[in-house]
Structure 1
Amino acid sequence: MDDFYKRYCELCANKGMSASGVASAIGLSNAAANGWKKGKLPNDTTLAKLSAYFGVTVEYLKGEETKKDPAGTGEVGSAKKALINLIVDLDEEQCRKLRSIIEEAVNLL
Structure 2
Amino acid sequence: MSWLVLVLSGVLEAVWAIALGRSEGFTKLVPSLTFAVALVLSMAGLAYAMRELPVGTSYAVWVGIGAALTVGFGMATGGETISAVKVLLLCGLIGCVVGLKLAH
Alignment TM-score, normalising by the size of structure 2: 0.34
Task: Using structure 1 for the length normalisation, give the TM-score.
Answer: 0.32
Q: If each structure's helix is expressed as a fraction of its own residues, which one has the higher value? A: 2
Considering only CA atoms, is the larger Rg found in Structure 1 or Structure 2? Answer: 1
The structure showing larger relative contact order (alpha-carbon pairs under 8 Å, at least 6 residues apart) is 2
